[in-house]
A and B are shown apart, each in its own frame.
Chain A
Amino acid sequence: KAGVTQTPRYLIKTRGQQVTLSCSPISGHRSVSWYQQTPGQGLQFLFEYFSETQRNKGNFPGRFSGRQFSNSRSEMNVSTLELGDSALYLCASSLAPGQGRDEQFFGPGTRLTVL
């Protein structure tokens, strides 16, 4: 079974631009979560999607948004990029939310650098 895939793996943008990151979950997984990882703030939860609906949201500004498609693939978008958005963005999938007992499977991440 293929793992979680994220594209692109590396991205360089300039301030003010916008970016879209993509995540394909493991086949059969319907829940997708996004995290931002930085040396200063560690791993922070962005949002979680299930059945094309945002189920939970972290404490990030509205410039960060996401969506999920009917095939469970997910995208996240960051508009008006700031230098502080430079980070590793991780996507994780799980079978389904609800019990908090499901293991999350992580992708390799997308390394975003904002210049």
Chain B
Amino acid sequence: AQSVTQLDSHVSVSEGTPVLLRCNYSSSYSPSLFWYVQHPNKGLQLLLKYTSAATLVKGINGFEAEFKKSETSFHLTKPSAHMSDAAEYFCVVSDTGGFKTIFGAGTRLFVKA
């Protein structure tokens, strides 16, 4: 069975400081993993995806995530937060066959000036 856990419901950082959004997953198969961002009253946008290629994945807007199989983690990071990064972030796991996609509960990122 698949599951995904976002360890923090809210994260607050100051502008210019690093961002870390944590995600742990559970999957019986080799999963595909994604991070999506949702700005208020908008649909979701893909930040990055892991599909069994390089374990360090670079995405848009300076975000990156590292797939760690031994820790079953796929944490999202960014070296320096910007005010425009304030949004909700979703970690997503999908099985190899694409038959099941599960979204995490989301982490709301607040960025203080």
Q: Which residues of A contact B98 (CB under 8 A)?
A: 97-102
Name the interface size band of chain A: 20 to 34
How many contacts A-B (CB < 8 Å)?
59
Query: Are A107 and B43 in contact (CB-based, < 8 A)?
Result: yes
Q: How far is the CB of A110 from chain B (nearest CB, A)?
A: 11
Q: Which residues of B contact A99 (CB under 8 A)?
A: 32, 96-98
Is B95 part of the contact surface with A, judged by Cβ < 8 Å?
yes
Query: Are B106 and A56 in contact (CB-based, < 8 A)?
Result: no
Kindly state the separation between the CA atoms of A90 and B42 in the bound complex, as whole angstroms: 10
Query: Are B97 and A98 in contact (CB-based, < 8 A)?
Result: yes
Is B51 part of the contact surface with A, judged by Cβ < 8 Å?
yes
Q: Which residues of B contact A55 (CB under 8 A)?
A: 99
B43: contacting residue among A4, A42, A44, A97, CB under 8 A: A4
